Structures are given as structure tokens and as C-alpha cells.
Chain A
Amino acid sequence: MLRREVPAVLTTVMAIFVFLSAMLFPLEEMKILARTDSLLQFMGNMALFLGGINLFRLHSRNIKKKREYWPFSLWLLAVFVFFTVLGIVKGNNDPLYKGLYDALIVPVNASMHSISAFFLCSAAFKAFRIKNLDSIVLMISAVWVMLASVPIGEIISPNVGIVKDWLLAVPGSAVARAMANGLFLAGFAATLRIFLGLERRHLGQ
């Protein structure tokens, strides 16, 4: 009862409450959403706390059982503990904290992202095949937009940019909006199932 029905009923009641307070004018004036927002902020912070505990448990188990790549788990926990303690004790503006972040995280993260350029080129060579009319249209528009996105396109012809702007503004916008609407409706349907208690996987059922 406590593990199944109560959370499901709470979800449905809160969903109706928040939905109505967002939709109905008098409830909006009562600033009910502002109150539920504080609860959301609290829950967000608790989730961060739980995430930390979960991460610790998972990787401690990896180290304990000496699973494959366990030294990486050890490294992750060491960095996790070091940065957490440093951040709490010295604060975000401590020169060591800031210096380590600027000297390590910034360049490493940027480098990781840059590597995708190499994979992208290799994938384009090995997988981008013009097998039918659809893929021909896709390739022509992709090449066109790529060319127009760098100065070389302008050197070839000033019209390259005009066509690219049209591609993005008209067919690109129409498709993107259609997809956004589809995604929203699908998301709404999935949320509605949770609201009505039909979907209970988030409760571990």
C-alpha cells in the first residue's frame, strides 16, 4: 500500500493540482506554482545528493570486486571526493579549485568534443551512401549547407548563402516544427499515463 498506491495517488493528485494551477487564472493568481517550484528545487537538490550516493555505491562495488576497469572507478571516486571536499571547504572561488578546473576540465572537455570531427569525417566516407532519391536530396542539401556555413561557399557564389538561408528558414523550419509538435504530443501522452497511474515503472513496478 505505502510503496504502491500512495505514491501513485500522490502523483495523480499533484499532477491535477499543478496542471489546474497553471491553466486556471484564479489559481495562477494565488501563486501556487511558486510554492510547488520551491518543492521542485528541494527535490532537485535531494536528487543530486542521492546521485552522489548512488555513484559512490556503484563504483565502490566495482573496486571491491575488482571488476574490469576498476582502476578507473578508483580514479573517479578519488576525483569526486577531492573536488567535493575542496568545493565545500574552500568554495568554488578557491584558486586551486578554479585553477584545476580551468587547466584540466576545460581543455579535456573541449578536446573530447573536437575528436568527433575525425569520427564524423570517417563516418561520412564509409556510411553516407546515395542509394535512392531521398539520400540524394539529403546529400545535396547537407553539402550545400556545409559549404554555405564557411567562407568558401561565399567564394564559390553569393547565391550559396541565399539558398542555404531558404533551406533553413522554409523546409528546415517546417520539418523542425512538425517534429517538435510530434515530440510534444508523444511526451504529453507519456506524461498523462504517469499522471493517471497507468505507468508505474518510476515506482519500480
Chain B
Amino acid sequence: MFWRKLLNIDSKIIYVVVGLALLLPVIKPVGMPVSISEEYTRRFYNYLTDIPKDAVVFFDLSFRETGEAELGSSVLPAFELLQKRGVKIVCGGQWQQAPFFMQSRLEKKAEEIGSVYGVDWVNIGYKPGGTATWRAMMEDFWKGAAGVDCNETKFDELPLMDRVRKLDKETFAAIVIWQAGTPGSGTWMQYAPDIPLLAVYMGGIGGNARYLRSGQVQAMIGGMQQAAEFEIITDCLGDATGLLDAQSLAVLVVIAFIVLGNISWIMVKRQDSLERSS
């Protein structure tokens, strides 16, 4: 009887339990220990710190608001890490949302660390047209990007853009992509395979681990845990570290529900077959 009741539990009760599991650690954080993954986070960090001073890196912010917590949280530490080392950054995106809403966050961070817009970094914003636009930038960056940044400031008013005439390996030391789906790293693998590519994936590494093994991506991190690891390794604590406790508890709740669901299903099935045989 108990198992049957449990099997037919109202979804609203599950929602309340999940809600509490997400809310309580935010109100009262536990501070679970986080160890740094050598294969992913350390490798990602080391690659960024090996980029020579004064080189230019392209930040491809290809996500939307849904990826802000997981992806957005590692953009600022990477930005700070490279800018403090004197590496120049050009931001853009294959998705229209992130280059737009990350601009104010990047401006705030730049002000905090003393980076000058136009000299140390530029945000060209979202450029419509898909892969055709990026291929056009490989021929002529200014023409392909319509010659203006996200604030509609002309490239010739931004000293950094003097160095950025083509989207190629001579101009960019690396491309770092934060991607929530398609279009994403595939664009760079297909059309700019000679520029080193680093990737940050939403929801975890998953099937993308194959790109690391094949050498198509030089380093990658994924999901909230590795975003938190990256925040810790760069000493730039933010959302990911703060929300990791909530995610831990939520995962435990999901696992508990899977196990309970299966136990109750087996018990009810057994009970039904016993009743039928009797």
C-alpha cells in the first residue's frame, strides 16, 4: 500500500522537495570542498596562462541567459586572468544574447582591474549571418564585422582593432568559446582549425570530451563544478562557487527519487503478481 502510494505521489510534492534542496544551501551554504580537475580545469587554466603577453585572444560568447550561471561565471575570471597578464581580448558571439548582456558585466570587471576599452579589449557584439559572416571575417575582419563594435563605435576609433585585420592564427593566439549549443565550437573546428580552440560547455563535458582526445579542442571545462573550480584556481570567486552546494543537494535528491521510484515500482509489480497468482 505504502509503495503504491509512493509510486503515485503528486508531482507537486517532488517539486517542493527539489525546491527546498535548491533553496536551503543558498540560504545556509555548507561549503563543500572542491578539488581541481587536472584533466580539464588545470589544463584549461595552464593553457590560458601560457598565452604570451600582448597576444590577442577571441572570446566567443555563444550562449543566452539560460547559461548565465554556468557559462557566464567563468567568463569574468578568464577575462581578468588574461587582462592582468597583458593579453588583449576581442569578444563576440555566434548567439545574439551573451555579447549583449555580458557587456555591462565585462565593463564593470574592466573598470575594477583597470583595463581600457578599445586598447585592452573590444566587444564586437553579435554579428548575424552565421558561418558566412565568420568566414568573411577570416578574409577581412573589418568588412565581415561591418566595421563597428557592439556600441556602434567604428573600428578605426579603437586602437586594438588596428591589429585585428583577419580572423586567423597570425592575429589570434586562441579562441575561447563559451557555448550552450549550436552554433558553437563546430564553426571554429570546421573553418579555423589552425587557431587553438578552448571550450567551456554548459551542463558538463558530456560527449564533447571526444574533441579533447582528437586534439580539435586544446582544453575544456564544463558544468557548474568546473566553473567553480576555475573560479577557485583564478581566485575570482563568484556565482558558480556559491551555487555548487545547491547543485550537490539537488543531484542527491534526483538520485534519491530515481532509486525510490524504482524500488516502489518493483514492490508494486511484485505485489500485483502475488495478488494475481492468489
Q: Are B258 and A150 in contact (CB-based, < 8 A)?
A: no
Q: Are A173 and B210 in contact (CB-based, < 8 A)?
A: yes
Q: Are A176 and B207 in contact (CB-based, < 8 A)?
A: yes
**CB of B274 closer than 8 Å to a CB of A:** no
Q: Are A124 and B257 in contact (CB-based, < 8 A)?
A: yes
Q: Are B135 and A146 in contact (CB-based, < 8 A)?
A: no
**CB of B225 closer than 8 Å to a CB of A:** yes
**CB of A58 closer than 8 Å to a CB of B:** no
Interface residues of A in 11-44 (CB under 8 A from B): 31, 33-34, 36-38, 40-41, 44
Stretch at the interface among A62-70, A71-79, A111-119, A190-198: A111-119
What 10 A-B pairs have minimum CB-CB distances, sorted nearest first? A176-B207, A173-B210, A113-B66, A109-B65, A40-B132, A41-B129, A151-B32, A37-B132, A125-B257, A150-B248
Contact with B along A151-190 (1 / 0, CB 8 A): 1101100100100010011001111110100000000000
Q: How many A-B residue pairs have CB under 8 A?
A: 165
Q: Are B251 and A150 in contact (CB-based, < 8 A)?
A: yes
Q: Which residues of B contact A31 (CB under 8 A)?
A: 139
Q: A113-B66, A128-B261, A129-B265 are in contact. Are A155 and B151 (CB under 8 A)?
A: no
Q: Which residues of B contact A177 (CB under 8 A)?
A: 210
Interface residue from B22, B210, B244, B262 paired with A150 (Cβ < 8 Å): B244
Contact with A along B27-44 (1 / 0, CB 8 A): 000001111010100000
Interface residues of B in 117-154 (CB under 8 A from A): 125, 128-130, 132-133, 135-136, 139, 150-152
Q: Are B207 and A172 in contact (CB-based, < 8 A)?
A: yes
Give chain B nearest CB distance to A132 CB in angstroms.
Answer: 13
A116→B169 CA distance, assembly (Å): 40
**CB of A91 closer than 8 Å to a CB of B:** yes
Q: Are B136 and A173 in contact (CB-based, < 8 A)?
A: no
**CB of B116 closer than 8 Å to a CB of A:** no
Q: Which residues of B contact A117 (CB under 8 A)?
A: 18, 22, 250
Residues of B within 8 A of A (CB): 9, 11, 14-15, 17-19, 22, 32-35, 37, 39, 64-66, 68-69, 97, 100-101, 104, 125, 128-130, 132-133, 135-136, 139, 150-152, 204-210, 212-213, 223-225, 244, 247-248, 250-255, 257-258, 260-262, 265
A64→B14 CA distance, assembly (Å): 42
Report how many residues on chain A are interfacial, defined by Cβ distance under 8 Å.
59
Q: Which residues of B contact A152 (CB under 8 A)?
A: 32, 248, 251-252
A109→B257 CA distance, assembly (Å): 27
Write 24 A-B pairs (CB below 8 A) sorted by A numbering: A40-B132, A41-B128, A44-B130, A45-B129, A92-B125, A92-B150, A109-B64, A109-B65, A109-B97, A113-B66, A128-B258, A128-B261, A129-B265, A143-B255, A145-B204, A149-B223, A150-B32, A150-B251, A151-B32, A151-B33, A152-B248, A152-B251, A169-B212, A172-B207
A98→B97 CA distance, assembly (Å): 12
A58→B277 CA distance, assembly (Å): 59
Interface residue from B68, B207, B225 paired with A151 (Cβ < 8 Å): B225
Q: Which residues of B contact A150 (CB under 8 A)?
A: 32, 224-225, 244, 247-248, 251
Q: A155-B32, A161-B37 are in contact. Are A41 and B18 (CB under 8 A)?
A: no
Q: Are B135 and A34 in contact (CB-based, < 8 A)?
A: yes
Q: Are A121 and B257 in contact (CB-based, < 8 A)?
A: yes
Q: Are A118 and B18 in contact (CB-based, < 8 A)?
A: yes
Residue in A closest to B212 when the chains form the complex, CB atoms = A169
Q: Which residues of A contact B64 (CB under 8 A)?
A: 109
A152→B212 CA distance, assembly (Å): 26
Q: Which residues of B contact A5 (CB under 8 A)?
A: none
Q: Which residues of A contact B34 (CB under 8 A)?
A: 151, 154
Q: Are A37 and B225 in contact (CB-based, < 8 A)?
A: no
Q: A93-B151, A125-B9, A151-B244 are in contact. Are A102 and B128 (CB under 8 A)?
A: no
**CB of A110 closer than 8 Å to a CB of B:** yes
Q: Which residues of B contact A3 (CB under 8 A)?
A: none
**CB of A48 closer than 8 Å to a CB of B:** yes
Q: Which residues of A contact B35 (CB under 8 A)?
A: 151, 154, 158, 161
Give chain A nearest CB distance to B67 CB in angstroms.
Answer: 8
Q: Are A124 and B258 in contact (CB-based, < 8 A)?
A: yes
**CB of A96 closer than 8 Å to a CB of B:** no
A36→B212 CA distance, assembly (Å): 33
Give chain A nearest CB distance to B243 CB in angstroms.
Answer: 11
